[in-house]
Structure 1
Amino acid sequence: MIRRTLDALYLLAGYLAGLFLIAIFALMMLLSIGRQINLNVPSGDDFAGWSLVAMAFLGLAHTFKRGEMIRVGLLLERLHGPSRRIAELVALTIAAAFIAYFTWQAGRLAYDSWRFFDMSTGVISVPLWIPQLGMVIGLAVLLLAIAEEWLIVARGGKPTYESVPPQTTEELIERVAQGGGV
């Protein structure tokens, strides 16, 4: 039950990131075409920028859990057994500490923006805590994903972000063709 709920949360965050990507595309097209036909999109650049931030941060947990995040495993690939599990736990602990701090600071920023009624300075005035929420929520979901992976590894399981290496050249080519998940 918890497994399905967490997977659904990560997938939802990924879909929301995708929706913000579509919003960026739509805004950029409106801004580009609008220049040609004298159509002004008020605060279009602001909304595109905020969508970019929301897209980037909301997509982190889904990307992490699918093993698509760039990760340097030169040391970990050479370790096996208990030493690999310990190194993986150390890496996940460091990642969790950094992301927890980042989440806390981003949350404080959004809270201060709400508390002090910070508003954007564009043509359309928007309370700044609203676009900052995408960053906070994305970081919080990533922190949850890292904590979950830490528990999996601590219990002796294999990290879900670690894919099985391709067994044949054809399998490697197929994975690269499907999106690079090697």
Structure 2
Amino acid sequence: MTLLILAQIAARAFGVIIPSSEDFAGWLLSATIFFGLAYTFNEGGHIRVTIMLSRLFGGTRRVLEFINLSLGLMISAYLSYYTLFTVYESWIYDDVTDTYLAVPLWMVQSPMALGSLFFTVAILDNFIAAIRGNTPGFMTHEDELSGE
């Protein structure tokens, strides 16, 4: 993505335009964001109300974390289902982008769908750990970051 933007900047200095470079940079940015969701979640890097949650102990914190994981799992599963369905529909109907270069839309949408699916699997993994009575991975990292 960076190389593409730098190439476009250099090309403009010579009066040349790289077709759809802004579009490809945007699509790569979307892929970067969605592919990073699961990793960031497992490392405890997502913004949460850790100030309040880190002050709770024992059963109260576990119950609140379980509720958070349940809601997060439902929301991410919903997102995953519909992004995957959108990719499928784009593939079935042979949709293409409405940019200078016609790119199959399913190719552009796939990173978002896969990233949201990976995120759902990461939440499910932590949800199962919480059900088993283990400390979810993201909580361990959050506690390390907060110094507890």
Q: TM-score, normalised by structure 1?
A: 0.75
Cross-structure match for 2:25: 48
Alpha-carbon distance between aligned partners in 1 of 2:39 and 2:84, rounded to the nearest angstrom: 20
Higher relative CO (Cα under 8 Å, sequence separation at least 6) belongs to 2
| Residue aligned with 1:124, SS | coil
RMSD: 1.3
Deviations 1:129-165 (A, max 9, x none): 0010000000000000000001111111112112223
The CA distance in 1 between the partners of 2:46 and 2:60, in whole Å, is: 23
Q: Could you tell me which amino acid in structure 2 is paired with residue 44 of structure 1?
A: S
Answering whether residue 147 of structure 2 is matched by residue 166 of structure 1, we say yes
CA distances 1:46-95 after superposition (whole Å, capped 9, x unpaired): 11111011110000001111111111124322321122111111100000
Is 2:71 the counterpart of 1:94?
yes
Residues 94-144 of structure 1, C-alpha deviations (whole Å, 9 max, x = no match)? 001011111111111111111111101222210000010000000000000
**Structure 1 letter corresponding to 2:106:** W
Q: What percent identity do the matched residue pairs reach?
A: 33
Aligned partner of 1:37 in structure 2 is 14
C-alpha distance in structure 1 between counterparts of 2:98 and 2:3, whole Å: 22
Report SS of the residue matched to 1:78: coil
1: distance between equivalents of 2:50 and 2:43? 16
Give the structure 1 partner of residue 89 of structure 2. Answer: 112
SS in 1 for 2:39: helix
- Aligned counterparts of 1:109 and 1:94: Cα–Cα separation in 2: 23
Contact 1:61 1:141 in 2 (8 A): yes
Note the residue ranges of structure 1 that are not aligned, 5 or more in a row. 1-23, 168-182
Of 149, 154, 157, 2:126 maps to: 149
TM-score by length of 2: 0.91
Q: Which residue of 2 aligns with 1:12?
A: none
Corresponding residue for residue 67 of structure 1: 44
| Map 1:114-133 → 2, pairs under 5 A | 114-133=91-110
Structure 2 unaligned regions, length at least 5 = none
Whichever residue aligns with residue 105 of structure 1, its letter is: Y
